[in-house]
Amino acid sequence: MTVRITWTEASARRLERQFLATSAKPGVPAADVVATMLGAHAQVLSAAELSVGVRTEGTTRADVREALWEDRSLVKTHGPRGTVHLLPTAELPLWCAALPAVPTGSVFAPDVRVTEEEAGQIVAAIGDALEGVCLTVDELSEEVVARTGARAGDLVMPAFQTLWPRWRQVLHRAGWSGALCFGPNRGRKVTYTRPPHFDPLPPDDAVRTLVRRYLYAYGPGTPAWFAKWLAAPGGWSSALFGRMARAGEIEEVDFEGTEAWVVAGDTEFPEDGGREGVRGVRLLPYFDAYGIAAQPRELLFPGAAYQRALAGGQAGNFPLLLVDGVVAGVCDAVEVAGAAYQISGEYSMIEAAAEKGWIDRERAILEALTGIKRAGAQNIL
């Protein structure tokens, strides 16, 4: 008999497993929290810091940066969808085997692209150049061109109304392979370095593990939702789910009338239908993993929230206000219970003051969230 799962049940379990229903206790390493999220989006580092902070008790921006730059339990590198993420350093063997195994194509014109042979040479050159040092992108460019030839340095790659050298189109692939990660900024300049050496997992094992991890964190899921989260081809994802289903690794369930999947045997959901688990008000920062990965979006972003919070159907561009497990707005336009209004109002004032240059935005947000928690609003994240 197929297990039937409601949206509320799924949401309650997802929130609990994401430390968004019950915060991680003091002392839980930031890397463990990031692992449950399957990476914290870090194109804007402060957003990743906030994503970790709202899931823990007492974790500060300094704690996340200590994990990243001092004890190196976190690494800033290219993760799902080729975007910059914080990932646990201990999980690089998984990510750096799974991500290169996802079929991808070039978005560039034929005369701009590099061949697969050239891409391999460039990735190897990047890893060699970054061994034991931190380099800016310009310094790295000189090293890559010196090692692979002038063609790699041709200014042909369109980016931000200018042209970048050809080799930069495979920068994310260097991250995926473990040849590159981000180093500490040098003033205002980004630097790159090489992460610790490791032996990657067998690619097929890694991809299957990633599916199981995704379904544990964000399931029930479908091949299409997994493909969207990973920016993978839908046909490839469907075939992968099919192989795993035949092997007994995943189990079919009925999720609000949709054929979906969970890890085999992982069919326990809240006995009260999830009503208590989703109750409360939660603030999620820009690019938070939950707003990006949780599906289906039409249930997570009901009604007008779908138009307000999704830019062209893309999640992550706005901080989200969750009320009882669904998006109720983008934090500056929602007035519900008093505590939610407190968050909403404070957030608006922070943004306005930061825009005028009066305050440090990231510090102010962290202080506001910490203050709200200390005031006793345990369910407000």
The pTM is what?
Answer: 0.85
Tell me the C-alpha to C-alpha distance, in Å, between residue 286 and each of 80, 261, 290, 366.
Answer: 16, 28, 11, 13
Residue 131 pLDDT > 90: yes
Per residue in 21-75, pLDDT tens?
A: 999 999 999 999 999 999 999 988 988 998 999 899 888 889 999 999 999 999 9
Please give the full DSSP string across 156-215, using - where no structure is assigned. Answer: EEEETTEEEEGGGGGHHHHHHHTS-EEEEEETTEEEEE-PPP-PPPPHHHHHHHHHHHHH
Residue 341 pLDDT > 70: no
Say what the pLDDT of residue 137 is. 97
Q: What's the longest Cα–Cα distance across the chain?
A: 65
Residue 142 pLDDT > 60: yes
Residue 326 CA to residue 320 CA, distance in Å, equals: 9
As a whole number, mean pLDDT of residues 260-273 equals 92
Say what the pLDDT of residue 8 is. 94
- Tokens encoding 156: 């042909």
> Is the separation of the CB atoms in 215 and 221 below 8 Å?
yes
Helices H / strands E in the chain, number of each: 17, 14
Per residue in 157-208, pLDDT tens?
A: 998 889 999 999 999 999 999 999 999 999 999 999 999 999 999 999 999 9
Look up residue 103 and give its amino acid.
P
Nearest C-alpha neighbor of 329 from the set 295, 302, 293, 298: 302
Say what the pLDDT of residue 272 is. 79
Helix (H) or strand (E) holding 80, with range, is: none
Nearest C-alpha neighbor of 365 from the set 381, 376, 379, 377: 381
Say what the pLDDT of residue 279 is. 83
> Is the separation of the CB atoms in 18 and 39 below 8 Å?
no
Residue 236 CA to residue 223 CA, distance in Å, equals: 9
As a whole number, mean pLDDT of residues 321-332 equals 74
Q: What is the dihedral of CA 152, 153, 159, 163, to 10 degrees?
A: -140
Starting at the earlier edge strand, list the strands of the sheet with 250-255.
4-5, 250-255, 258-263
Per residue in 224-253, pLDDT tens?
A: 999 999 999 999 999 999 999 999 999 999
- The share of the chain scoring above pLDDT 70, in percent, equals 83
Nearest C-alpha neighbor of 49 from the set 74, 17, 72, 79: 74
Strand partners, 251: 262
Residue 348 pLDDT > 80: no
Say what the pLDDT of residue 380 is. 35
DSSP state of 150: G
Phi, psi of 149 (to 5 degrees): 110, 165
Under the banding of pLDDT at 50, 70 and 90, the label for residue 258 is very high
Higher-confidence residue of 311 and 267: namely 267
Residue 275 pLDDT > 70: yes
Phi, psi of 68 (to 5 degrees): -80, -45
Mean pLDDT of the chain: 87
> Is the separation of the CB atoms in 65 and 49 below 8 Å?
yes
Residue 192 CA to residue 184 CA, distance in Å, equals: 8
Per residue in 83-99, pLDDT tens?
A: 999 999 999 999 999 99
The region of weakest confidence among 87-96, 125-134, 270-279, 336-345 is 336-345
- Those residues whose C-beta lies under 8 Å from the C-beta of residue 106, and which sit 6 or more positions away, are 113, 169
DSSP state of 264: T
